[in-house]
C-alpha cells in the first residue's frame, strides 16, 4: 500500500471519531503548550538577567589586577599581555598603565593660565579602545593617536582645569547646572586649545636638575562619549598610548635622576575582551592560572544562570507531567480504536494486507495526533506569550535578591528552535504511545477477528 494511501486512510479514521480525537488532541495541546511556556519562562528570565547585567557592564569584559612585586613575582608586563592576547576567544586586550614616577601639570591658555593634574590619564594599547566599546563624540579613530603624545579625552575632561588667576570659583563643574538645567561651559574647548605637559620639580632632587626635564605638547585628537560601563576615563579621564606616556615618564626620571624599581614597566591593571559570553569563564580561568587576579560580570551572572536553570528544570518537569498524561490519552484512544476495528483488521489480513501496513496505520494515526496537537499547542503558546509580553505582564522568581527591581522578568521568550523541538517531541510522544496498540493490532488472529461482531 502506498504511503499516501495509508495517510489518507489514517486521516479518515481519525475524522470518523471526531469527538474522541478532539479530546485526545486537547491533552496533547495542553501538554505541548505547557512545555513551551515553561521553557520560554526560563529563556525569558535568562535574557532579562543578561540585559540587566549588561546595563551594569560589558558581560564579555575581564579586568585583570596584579600588585605583585619583588623577585620571583609574576609581573603583568608586555610579554604577559602578548600571552593573554594569544589565548583562544580573546578579541583584544590592553593594559591600564598609571605612571608611578611621572609628576607634572597639563597647562592651557596664555601664560599657562588653566592647569590640571595628569593623574587621570592612563596608558593603553590604542588599537584596543574601539573594540572595547569606547565611542567618540568628536574626532575619529583614524585621527586618534595619529600624532605623537596624542590624548583622547573624556567627555568632561576640560572641567578638570582650574583658573590660576582666580582664588575663588576657579573651577567649573560639569554636574552643576543653572536654573534652566543647563551645564556651564568649561573655560575652553578641549579640541581647540593647545595642551602642554609641564614636568614638576622632584622634591628629592635639585631644582637645576628638574629644569632639564622637557615640556611636551599634548594634542587632544578625540573626545569620548561618557560611558561608566567601560570606565571613568570616558568621563573626566583620558587615554594615551602606553608607549608615549612611558616615554614621558622615562624622560622625567632621567632629568630628575630617579632610579626605577625592579618592577618598572609592569602594569597593575589590564582589560580583556572575550569573543562570546560563553567563553568568559574559560578565558578568566586561563588568566588566573597565569597568576593574576581577575574580575568579570561572570561572578554575578553564573550563580544567577544556575538559579535560572534550576527554576527552568522544575517548571519543565511540571510541564512534562501534563505531556505524560497526554501520552496516556493517546494510548487509550488507540487501544479503543484497535478493539473497535478488530473485524476490520481481520479482513485486511485475509485480503493480503501486509502486517507492516497494519502497524503503520496505527502508528501514523498516533503520530498525526501528536503532530496536530503539537502544532495547535505551539500556536496557542505563541498567542499566550504574545499577549503576556504585549500587555506588560512580568514574573518574579527570586531574582530580586540579585538585581533588586531588575529581577522582574519579561515572561516569555519563544524561539524557533523551541517551537521545532516541541513539534518533534510531541510527534515522538504520539508515535511511542501508538507503538503498543499497533503491536496489539498485528497480533490479532485473522479468523478470530472476522468472527467478532
Q: What local confidence, expressed as pLDDT, does residue 127 receive?
A: 95
The 10 Å CB-count burial string (b at 16+, else e) for 409-418 is bbbbbbeeeb
162: three-class secondary structure by DSSP: strand
192 and 249 in a common domain: yes
Q: What local confidence, expressed as pLDDT, does residue 355 receive?
A: 76
208 and 145 in a common domain: yes
269 and 253 in a common domain: no
CATH number at residue 74: 3.30.70.100
277 and 189 in a common domain: no
436 and 322 in a common domain: yes
Q: How far apart are CA 222 and CA 129, in angstroms?
A: 12
7 and 80 in a common domain: no
DSSP per-residue codes, 75-97: ---HHHHHHHHTSTTEEEEEEEB
Per-residue confidence band for 294, with pLDDT thresholds at 50, 70 and 90: very high
Cα 140–Cα 143–Cα 144 angle in degrees, nearest 5: 85
Q: What local confidence, expressed as pLDDT, does residue 407 receive?
A: 44
Q: Total structural domains in the chain?
A: 3
How many Cα neighbours within 13 Å face the side chain of 285?
6
147 and 80 in a common domain: no
Q: What local confidence, expressed as pLDDT, does residue 289 receive?
A: 92
Domain carrying residue 234? 100-263
Q: What local confidence, expressed as pLDDT, does residue 216 receive?
A: 93
Has residue 309 got a pLDDT over 70?
yes
71 and 50 in a common domain: no
Q: What local confidence, expressed as pLDDT, does residue 347 receive?
A: 75
134 and 164 in a common domain: yes
* Grid coordinates of 378: 505551539
Helix (H) or strand (E) holding 220: strand 220-224
Q: What are the pLDDT digits (tens) for 55-80?
A: 667 889 999 998 766 555 688 999 99
Last residue of a domain, one of 277, 295, 313: 295
220 and 108 in a common domain: yes
Has residue 305 got a pLDDT over 70?
yes
Q: How far apart are CA 57 and CA 216, in angstroms?
A: 35
Tell me phi and psi for residue 25, to 5 degrees: -60, -35
As a whole number, mean pLDDT of residues 298-307 equals 79
322 and 357 in a common domain: yes
As a whole number, mean pLDDT of residues 323-331 equals 82
CA-based nearest residue to 324, from 40, 28, 25: 28
Q: What are the pLDDT digits (tens) for 243-255?
A: 999 999 999 998 8
| Residues above pLDDT 70, as percent of the chain | 88
Has residue 139 got a pLDDT over 70?
yes
Q: What are the pLDDT digits (tens) for 155-182?
A: 999 999 999 999 888 998 888 887 787 8
Give the DSSP letter of residue 94.
E
> What angle, 0 to 180 degrees and rounded to 10, lies between the N-to-C axes of helices 3-16 and 18-56?
100
* 437 neighbors 51 (Cβ within 8 angstroms): no
414 and 273 in a common domain: no
Amino acid at each position: 500500500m502506498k504511503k499516501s494511501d495509508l495517510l489518507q486512510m489514517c486521516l479518515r479514521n481519525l475524522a470518523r471519531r471526531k469527538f474522541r480525537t478532539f479530546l485526545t488532541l486537547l491533552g496533547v495541546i495542553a501538554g505541548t503548550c505547557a512545555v513551551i511556556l515553561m521553557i520560554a519562562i526560563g529563556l525569558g528570565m535568562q535574557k532579562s538577567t543578561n540585559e540587566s547585567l549588561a546595563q551594569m557592564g560589558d558581560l564579555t569584559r575581564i579586568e585583570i589586577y596584579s600588585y605583585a612585586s619583588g623577585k620571583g613575582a609574576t609581573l603583568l608586563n608586555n610579554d604577559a599581555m602578548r600571552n593573554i592576547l594569544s589565548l583562544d576567544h580573546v578579541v583584544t586586550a590592553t593594559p591600564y598603565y598609571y605612571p608611578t614616577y611621572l609628576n607634572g601639570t597639563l597647562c592651557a591658555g596664555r601664560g599657562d593660565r588653566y592647569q590640571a593634574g595628569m593623574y587621570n590619564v592612563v596608558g593603553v594599547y590604542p588599537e584596543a579602545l574601539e573594540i572595547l566599546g569606547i565611542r567618540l563624540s568628536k574626532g575619529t579613530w583614524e585621527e586618534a593617536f595619529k600624532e605623537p603624545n596624542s590624548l583622547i579625552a573624556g567627555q568632561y575632561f576640560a572641567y578638570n582645569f582650574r583658573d590660576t588667576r582666580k582664588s575663588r570659583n576657579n573651577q567649573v563643574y560639569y554636574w552643576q547646572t543653572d536654573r534652566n538645567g543647563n551645564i556651564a561651559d568649561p573655560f575652553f574647548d578641549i579640541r581647540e586649545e593647545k595642551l602642554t605637559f609641564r614636568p614638576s620639580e622632584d622634591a628629592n632632587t635639585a631644582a637645576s636638575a628638574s629644569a632639564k626635564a622637557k615640556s611636551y605638547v599634548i594634542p587632544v585628537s578625540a573626545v569620548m562619549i561618557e560611558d561608566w560601563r567601560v570606565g571613568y576615563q570616558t568621563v573626566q579621564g583620558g587615554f594615551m598610548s602606553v608607549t608615549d606616556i612611558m616615554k614621558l615618564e622615562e624622560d622625567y626620571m632621567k632629568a630628575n635622576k630617579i632610579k626605577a624599581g625592579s618592577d618598572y614597566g609592569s602594569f597593575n591593571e589590564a582589560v580583556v575582551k572575550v569573543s562570546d559570553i560563553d567563553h568568559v569563564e574559560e578565558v578568566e580561568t586561563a588568566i588566573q592560572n597565569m597568576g593574576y587576579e581577575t574580575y568579570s560580570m561572570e561572578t554575578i551572572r553564573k550563580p544567577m544562570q544556575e538559579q535560572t536553570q534550576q527554576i527552568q528544570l522544575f517548571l519543565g518537569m511540571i510541564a512534562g507531567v501534563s505531556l505524560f498524561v497526554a501520552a496516556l490519552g493517546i494510548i487509550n484512544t488507540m487501544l479503543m480504536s484497535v478493539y473497535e476495528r478488530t473485524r476490520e483488521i481481520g479482513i485486511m489480513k485475509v485480503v493480503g494486507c501486509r502486517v507492516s501496513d497494519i502497524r503503520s496505520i496505527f502508528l501514523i494515526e498516533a503520530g498525526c495526533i501528536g503532530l496536530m496537537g503539537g502544532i495547535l499547542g505551539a500556536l496557542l503558546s505563541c498567542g499566550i506569550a504574545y499577549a503576556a509580553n504585549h500587555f506588560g505582564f512580568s514574573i518574579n522568581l527570586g531574582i530580586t535578591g540579585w538585581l533588586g527591581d531588575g529581577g522582574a522578568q519579561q515572561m516569555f521568550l519563544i524561539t524557533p528552535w523551541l517551537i521545532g523541538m516541541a513539534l518533534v517531541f510531541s510527534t515522538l510522544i504520539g508515535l511511542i504511545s501508538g507503538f503498543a496498540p499497533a503491536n496489539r493490532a498485528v497480533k490479532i488472529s485473522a479468523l478470530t477477528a472476522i468472527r467478532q461482531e
